Chains A and B, each alone.
Chain A
Amino acid sequence: MTSPRVSAYLAPRRRLQLAGLLTAPVLWLGLVYVVALAALLVTAFWTVNELTGQVQIEWTTENVVEVLTEALYRTVTLRTLGIAVLVTVLDVLVAVPVAFFMAKIAGPRLRHLLVIAILAPLWASYLVKVYSWRALLSADGVIHWVLAPFGLDTPGYGIVGIVLTLSYLWLPYVIMPIYAGFDRVPDRLLEASADLGARGWSTLRSVVLPMIWPAVIAGSIFAFSLSLGDYITAGIVGGTTQMLGNLVYTNVGAANNLPLAAAISLIPIAIILVYLAAVRRTGALRSL
């Protein structure tokens, strides 16, 4: 048996233990992911041979300049950003009251059922959920059927359809961290606040909200980031509306211009990195 001897050797050596624990995950994430991201950055400055369609190692800023200056990319970037912000705000507005009810009002049994009810749809296929919205939004679908008596009609396939579908898709991702955030607020604090004379709403504003803020940010990261990169939803319920992801996908697939696709994909990367840097100090990354 060597295990006790290894163990005895390692016991006083905390640095070595740490190295043993960290090596595998950091190597994996570094080699697979960081290298891939770095390579993507580099590829954006390469070009494609027009005859063979192969990626050529020939340095050029053509792709990046094209992405930064052409009106198409600016329009699509703003549209994608707008959709992502709208989806995030919508999801947080819906998630906060639901998460609060789950964590602080519902009894243990009901809370348990609600957690399952919210988590279960995550398992249903993403695509079928989008597809179900295609059915809901269609000209003879459920939304038309419900709204027709009021003289209204389905928004159909377009930006509204995309926003509704994306909000629907990411809602559980936003509810769960916020629910966990509310759950971490001890009831004693709420009672103390009430004992000191604060009414429900002022307790909510000055005690609860500051405490769950990191959880709200954590939830928003999911909705924002998942929306920025989505192209499948736009393809299915967006009609002719294009998001950044659609442009990337077309350039990887049909147009076979990996360098241009890489250059376009730098836009959502930049946006997300700015967002993550901005929220890092709230401690939200630790409550993801």
Chain B
Amino acid sequence: MQLGRVARYVLGAVTAVVIAMIYLPLGVVFLNSISASESMSWPPPGFTLEWWGRALHSEGALQALGTSVLVAIAASAIALVLGTLAAMALSRYRFYGKETVNLLIVLPIALPGIVTGIALNNAFRTIVGVQLGVWTLIVAHATFCIVTVYNNAFARLNASGTRLEEASQDLGAGLFTTFRLVTFPHLKSALLAGGLLAFALSFDEIIVTTFTAGPGVTTLPLWILQNMFRPSQAPVVAVIAVILAVLSVVPLAIAQRLTAKDAAAVSR
């Protein structure tokens, strides 16, 4: 595109500033995790590793981490199944009410989290009449995670077209064989990416979580919320955040690489 050199540099500079702005607060959290000040005053008066030592021995935080991982894995698994089914239906078949199904999938994430939260809270407690617990939390998370899997799978299915599937069936393969040997291998990396996004979405969610988790169920965001305003715990919260931020880059990079490679192969 015929863009002037100045325009290119300006856009590059804007991007650089925005990326810097995205990481500045996270950098501040990192510095707070090793700051000698407990109240996050700036600039840090000195540095210490005391909070890191405390965080690694914080039973509450480790337990919350376990709960979060369990909920996120269960919710992503449900979302993977339902999202893939929906994507297959909407990409491979024509039917009346397609737009409505599409809207249905998007709705849990398009409506404000607080609406989803209070609606599910009300449904679980007054309509179904169950106690809030881990299961209600998993059901709630799975509901808004479906859309991320669906989006990834739908985009991939549309991009790869139906020619290979038709060829497979012409050669005598049944529906399930075609799915296993042709559709699924194409879809795999998109599902991994969608699943990772769903995991992240669930892992980080706090608003629906505050409405649907039982009294004894503490996810990592809930733990952070409960400990945030305790002055002595604040730097420990920062430590946990830093660990999460670092750990998260690895699976995302893998997913990104997989999707990019496969998408290139599909469109060729």
Footprint of B on A, CB under 8 Å? 3-4, 6-8, 10-11, 14, 17-18, 21-22, 24-26, 28-30, 32-37, 39-40, 43, 55, 94, 97-98, 100-102, 104-106, 112, 114-129, 131-136, 138, 140-142, 144-145, 168, 171-172, 187, 190-191, 194, 199-200, 203, 221, 225-226, 228-232, 236, 244-245, 248-249, 252, 258, 261-262, 265, 268-269, 272, 276, 280, 285-286, 288
Contacts and interface: CB of A to CB of B under 8 A. Distances in A.
A39 B29 contact: no
B204 A123 contact: yes
A123 B200 contact: yes
A136 B21 CA distance: 12
B23 to A, nearest CB: 7
B266 interface: no
A231 B117 CA distance: 12
Given A14-B93, A36-B119, A36-B122, A118 B22 contact: yes
B153 to A, nearest CB: 12
B247 to A, nearest CB: 8
Interface of B: 1-4, 7-8, 11-12, 14-15, 18-19, 21-26, 28-29, 32, 40-43, 78, 81-83, 85-86, 88-89, 93, 95, 99, 101-116, 118-123, 126-127, 139, 142-143, 146-147, 151, 169, 174-177, 200, 203-207, 210-211, 220-221, 224-225, 228, 234, 237-238, 240-241, 244-245, 248-249, 252-253, 256, 260
Contact of B151 (A98, A101, A288): A288
Given A11-B174, A115-B256, A117-B19, A28 B122 contact: no
Contacts of B40: 134-135, 138, 141
22 contacts: A21-B86, A24-B81, A25-B105, A32-B120, A39-B122, A98-B18, A100-B11, A117-B23, A119-B256, A120-B248, A123-B248, A128-B241, A132-B25, A132-B28, A142-B28, A168-B21, A190-B1, A229-B111, A232-B225, A245-B112, A269-B111, A280-B99
Contacts of B116: 33
- Output the residue of B78, B177, B225 with the most chain A CB within 10 A: B225
Contact of A40 (B26, B112, B119, B203): B119
Given A7-B174, A21-B85, A225-B111, A29 B105 contact: yes
A39 B127 CA distance: 8
Pairs A-B, 8 closest by C-beta atoms: A229-B112, A7-B174, A123-B248, A128-B241, A36-B123, A132-B25, A21-B89, A229-B114
Given A36-B123, A131-B237, A190-B1, A285 B106 contact: yes
B12 A105 contact: yes
- Where chain B touches its partner, the secondary structure class is helix
A174 to B, nearest CB: 11
A225 B110 CA distance: 6
Given A232-B207, A258-B122, A268 B115 contact: yes
A245 B114 contact: yes
Contacts of B205: 126
A288 B155 CA distance: 10
A121 B108 CA distance: 22
A262 B118 contact: yes
A26 B102 contact: no
